[in-house]
Structure 1
Amino acid sequence: MAYKSLLTVMTDTVLAQGALAQMVALADATDAHADALCLGVDRSQTGYYYAGANALILQETLSRANAEADEVLAFAKDYLGKSGIRWAAESGVVQIADISRHVARRARFSDLVILPRPYGDGRDAEAEPIVEAAMFEGHAPVLLVPDDATPFVKPKTVLIGWNESPEAMRAIRRALPFLQQAEMVRIVVIDPPRHGPDRSDPGGMLSQMLARHGVRCEIDVLSKTMTRVSDILSRHATDTEADMIVMGAYGHSRFREAILGGATRNMLEQSTVPVFLAH
């Protein structure tokens, strides 16, 4: 299986460039179709009362959102038009409280959604709900690209964060096209349980399954020498010169992740390589 329908969601011409470049690179290499959903976001919340608010203020926010949508659409058309791939771009204006519905509808019919990292400097409030809508409501895998990442087609080395969870297994299955093309896939197991069913061979059954798909893989069993799992994965990605990390998303509830942090959120905040997520 190959990714034949690619999607990116753009609300900003600067932050979207990395994801757009990655989408074009993959579409060109696999003869896929690339779609760009260009949104202007109305960040006013009309369900609340603002002292002194009137129709002119609401009209101003809507006009600003329309102008943003037109700017992003023009940028996407210019960029994609020069790429030589098959593409389509459309624009629209959404309220921030309703953005998930529109993103999920498009993500549902896409093989892979490519987006910029939702955390970091210059991110607006809609960045996180766009990622979550693609994964949770759209049920699509998401490739999150750092701002300065170099687009790749066939990753040389891929890390898999393996903790035997359903989310991790789902991410691995959805990432198979990348894993099959990689020169080496490293299954990273951090502090495997001493009394688990795979205690004598952690990651062995996963390695066997992937090998039957033609994936060249090795197992790296690491000690939890740092407090956060995401720190260990990031350091190992640097040590092995990995091009991509594959991991399950949000093993805990999204509310707990948002308040206390977690491997998913921490990874998205600090990773210097693209992260492939599925839930």
Structure 2
Amino acid sequence: MPIKTIVAILQNERDAARVLDCSLPLARQFEAHLIGVHAEAMPVPYTSASGFPDTEFLQVSADLNKERAGKLKAEFTQRTEGSGLSLEWRSLETFSGDSAISALSSVRAADLVVAGQGEEGGDSTADIGALVYDAGRPVLVVPHSGPMVTSFNRILIAWNGSREAARAAFDALPFIVQAELTEILIIDPPEDLDGSVDAGSEIAASLSRHGANVSVAAVKSGGASMEDVIQDHLSATGADLLVLGAYSHSWLRRLIFGGVTRSVLRAGAVAAFLSR
């Protein structure tokens, strides 16, 4: 399915530039409608020492929110001016002020969502994990540092045969069919499979029928975490896009141990395409 509607999540000035650096070229490439979304929190009423609402505080909060939203809208307008693209800006005011969570109604009607990777300890960071979990649409997570790549010539699919992995692989087809090479990575394949790569042969064949150039790699973790194996393989192969089925383990395991999805959302070195 071609990508015709892209939603760009702009939470703050820090990540807006990188999100637009990614979403604008993609909108041009696919001739897609681009929607910029930003949310501000509704001012929380505080009471003064006398017990009355602190109207001055409310006004200051409202003014700050309006100023921040205006700056992001201005950046979106400036970056897109003269582009010839089909564009739309949506400024929201919600209780959370989280642009990712507040944008759910918008992203569920999109073909692709582009959001910035959260930084450890960063303030005013959007909850991209909740976005990926609840959106029902693929989310392209842009790393918070490093070179910005949107051509995605070499793609790595982390394949474990799960429903989420299958969803991600086929959601990413618009990128996969244009890539020079897509590699299916299988970590610790079952021992009873002849030659190990059989674990990914069926999905590789299916993607190949769409015209993709696909290979399969089976590796042993050797006791290393799945996150480390994937990141090491990304570095070794020079892949510029990771395709991952998000949250394919139980909520209890994710809560206690974290997982590959959480690692990618916080510290992935390349762009990550996630679906569930």
Tell whether the structures are fold-level matches, with TM greater than 0.5.
Answer: yes
Matched, 1:55 2:54: yes
The residue number in structure 1 matching 2:130 is: 132
Q: 1:216 to 1:100 in 2, by over 3 A?
A: closer
The residue number in structure 2 matching 1:218 is: 215
Deviations 1:220-263 (A, max 9, x none): 11111353211111111111010100001111345642442111
Instruction: State how far apart, in whole Å, the 2-side matches of 1:275 and 1:258 are.
Output: 21
Q: 1:149 to 1:209 in 2, by over 3 A?
A: same
Instruction: State how far apart, in whole Å, the 1-side matches of 2:14 and 2:106 are.
Output: 22
Q: 1:268 to 1:200 in 2, by over 3 A?
A: closer
CA deviation after TM superposition for structure 1 residue 198, in Å: 9.4
Instruction: State how far apart, in whole Å, the 1-side matches of 2:178 and 2:150 are.
Output: 9
The residue number in structure 2 matching 1:41 is: 41
Instruction: State how far apart, in whole Å, the 2-side matches of 1:35 and 1:7 are.
Output: 5
Identity, % of aligned pairs? 28
The residue number in structure 2 matching 1:167 is: 164
2:242 to 234, 242, 245: 245
- The answer to whether the 8 A contact 1:120-1:269 is kept is yes
- The answer to whether the 8 A contact 2:204-2:216 is kept is yes
SS at match of 1:66: helix
Instruction: State how far apart, in whole Å, the 2-side matches of 1:272 and 1:43 are.
Output: 36
- 1:138-153 matches, within 5 Å, as 138-153=135-150
CA deviation after TM superposition for structure 1 residue 41, in Å: 3.0
Instruction: State how far apart, in whole Å, the 1-side matches of 2:264 and 2:9 are.
Output: 21
Aligned residue type for 1:132: A
The residue number in structure 2 matching 1:23 is: 23
Q: 1:78 to 1:121 in 2, by over 3 A?
A: farther
- The answer to whether the 8 A contact 2:19-2:116 is kept is yes
Matched, 1:233 2:233: no
Unaligned runs of 5+ in 2: none
Instruction: State how far apart, in whole Å, the 2-side matches of 1:131 and 1:106 are.
Output: 17
SS at match of 1:252: coil
Aligned residue type for 2:107: A
The residue number in structure 2 matching 1:104 is: 104
Unaligned runs of 5+ in 1: none
- The answer to whether the 8 A contact 1:159-1:246 is kept is yes
The residue number in structure 2 matching 1:81 is: 81
Count how many residue pairs are aligned between Structure 1 and Structure 2: 273
Aligned residue type for 1:116: G
1:177 to 166, 174, 178: 174
CA deviation after TM superposition for structure 1 residue 77, in Å: 1.0
TM-score by length of 2: 0.88
TM-score by length of 1: 0.87
Across the aligned residues of Structure 1 and Structure 2, the Cα RMSD in angstroms comes to 2.6
Instruction: State how far apart, in whole Å, the 2-side matches of 1:4 and 1:218 are.
Output: 28
Matched, 1:93 2:93: yes
